[in-house]
Amino acid sequence: MGDDLSALAHLHDPIRRSLYEFVTNRGTDVDRGEAAEAAGISRTLAAFHLDKLVEAGLLECRFKSPVKKGPGSGRPAKVYRRAAGERLVSLPPRDYAGLASVLADAVDLLGGEEQAEKAARAAGARIGTRSRPRHMLKVLEERGYEPYVEGEEIRLRNCPFHRLAEEHPVLVCSMNLALCQGLLEGLDDDPNRARMAPRPRECCVVFLNK
Amino acid sequence: MHLAELNIAHLRAPIDAPELLAFVDGLQPINELADRAPGFVWRLKEDPNDPRATVQHVYGDHILVNFSIWESLESLWDFVYKTHHLEFLRRRREWFHRMAEPYFVMWWIPEGHIPSLAEAMDRLERLKARGPTPAAFTYKDSYSAEEAANWEAAEAARSATAPTG
């Protein structure tokens, strides 16, 4: 808990926050030059802040071998990506994840997947109806899915239910799809824009981009 | 070390019944997806020339058996839950009965070794009897190849020094 709080405190600084967001939005390794350019700061300053974010456990870094080999090819470049693991701060302490896990076990025992999907769709519709932004992409961003456009599709870099999905993949992915279809309904959009298209290290739901 | 996995399913109807047609139609594409998946090593096939032929065995009527070998826990996970196979899993209630007992088990094996189906079934029995151990485990309680090797060495030492009679 204390660790998470001090880690997240590193994002209070606007420069660090913009660097962190740039790296996580890219979804691939980012080098110092790219990050510096994106944040509009010098390479040295970017390196300093990026390394601070690594120290705080928010980013991970590794050395990427230069393309050219042999003398004169220079040092391997340091590249950054989002660290695995989650940070959650809740004051006073609350443990919704623990309860969600138990509830998912209960749904399993009851064979209640279909009802769980129905409930998820209704919840999604409520969220969509009340949502101030009426644009799907905005809503997905707000809800932490980290959407990005890929050709005809909008894919989601982050699964907000990742840890639970690792325990109950079929149930959680199905509920997430139902929730997304509900969201679309609530936004007066076409629920069939959302479908299942799993891919490693990403959310399993994709949206038709139109 | 490689990872072996066995899972069984109780069919709701005989495999050639019309209500299972969608399932049988999916066998070929899904099996081809598995065969091409990163980290796939081997799977038990009834007939190398007939992708729709399910494995014949002596473990009861209407029991469907999947038995395969993978390079790692991640590669098997990515195939099962991170490909089109997930869609197939989501429809499992249409074709299979709910199982009250464990129906999926994994264990570590030396590379190049192919266990018998009898051993695989035995691993599932072990999971039922003792719960997850490094010799028979699930994703919820998984063990690394290293943990399994250490555990087996300790088991062997224990049984060697165990008093007999």
Per CB-CB distance under 8 Å, the chain A contacts of B88 are none
DSSP string, A107-175: HHHHT-HHHHHHHHHHHHHHHHHH-SS--HHHHHHHTT--EEEETTEEEES--TTHHHHHHSHHHHHHH
Greater model confidence, B29 or B102: B29
Q: What would the pLDDT profile of B91-131 be if each residue is shown by its tens digit?
A: 998 999 988 788 999 999 999 999 999 999 999 999 999 99
Question: What is the widest separation between alpha-carbon atoms in chain B?
Answer: 57
Q: Scanning the structure block, which residue is given the tokens 């006073």? A: A92
Tell me which chain A residues have a C-beta less than 8 angstroms from the C-beta of B93. 111, 113
| Contact: B86, A196; criterion CB under 8 Å | yes
B116: helix, strand or coil: coil
Q: So what's the pLDDT on residue B60?
A: 87
| CA A7/CA A88 separation, integer angstroms | 10
What are the DSSP E strand ranges found in chain B? 2-10, 40-43, 63-70, 104-109
A113 touching chain B per CB within 8 A: yes
Q: Where in chain A is the domain with CATH 1.10.10.10?
A: 2-82
Among A101, A161, A166, which would you mutate to test the B interface (most chain B Cβ atoms within 10 Å of its Cβ)?
A: A166
In the structure, what pLDDT confidence band is assigned to residue B160 with cuts at 50, 70 and 90?
A: confident
- Confidence tier at B63 by pLDDT (50, 70, 90): very high
Predicted model pTM: 0.87
* Structure tokens, A156: 């989601």
Mean pLDDT value of segment B132-148: 95
Q: For B2-161, CATH number?
A: 3.30.70.100
Chain A residues closer than 8 Å to B90 by CB: 170, 173-174, 196
CATH number 1.20.120.1630 given to A2-82: no
Which residues of chain A make contact with B78, given a CB cutoff of 8 A? 200
Tokens for B69, please give them: 């070998």
Interface contact B90-A174, CB threshold 8 A? yes
User: CA-CA distance, A56 to B141, in Å (whole number)?
Assistant: 29
Query: DSSP label at B13?
Result: S
Decide if B100 touches A, using CB distance below 8 A.
no
DSSP assigned state of A72: T
- Rounded CA-CA distance A49/A54 in Å is 9
Q: How far apart are CA B133 and CA B36, in angstroms?
A: 30
Q: B139: burial class by Cβ within 10 Å (0-12, 13-18, 19+)?
A: middle
Which pLDDT score, from 0 to 100, does residue A1 have? Answer: 44
Residue with tokens 């996580």: A24
Sheet holding A30-31, edge to edge: A30-31, A77-82, A59-64
Bridge partners of residue B7, in order along the sequence:
B66, B104
So what's the pLDDT on residue B105? 98
Q: Of B82, B92, B139, which has the smallest distance from its Cβ to A198's Cβ?
A: B82
Interface test with A, best of B74, B83, B89, B90 (most A CBs within 10 A): B90
Each of the 210 residues of chain A gets a pLDDT tens digit; together they read: 458 888 898 899 999 999 999 999 888 899 999 999 999 999 999 999 999 999 999 999 999 876 666 666 677 889 999 998 888 888 888 999 999 999 999 999 898 999 999 999 999 999 999 999 999 999 999 999 999 999 999 999 999 999 999 999 999 999 999 999 999 999 999 999 999 999 998 999 999 997
Average pLDDT over residues B27-47: 96
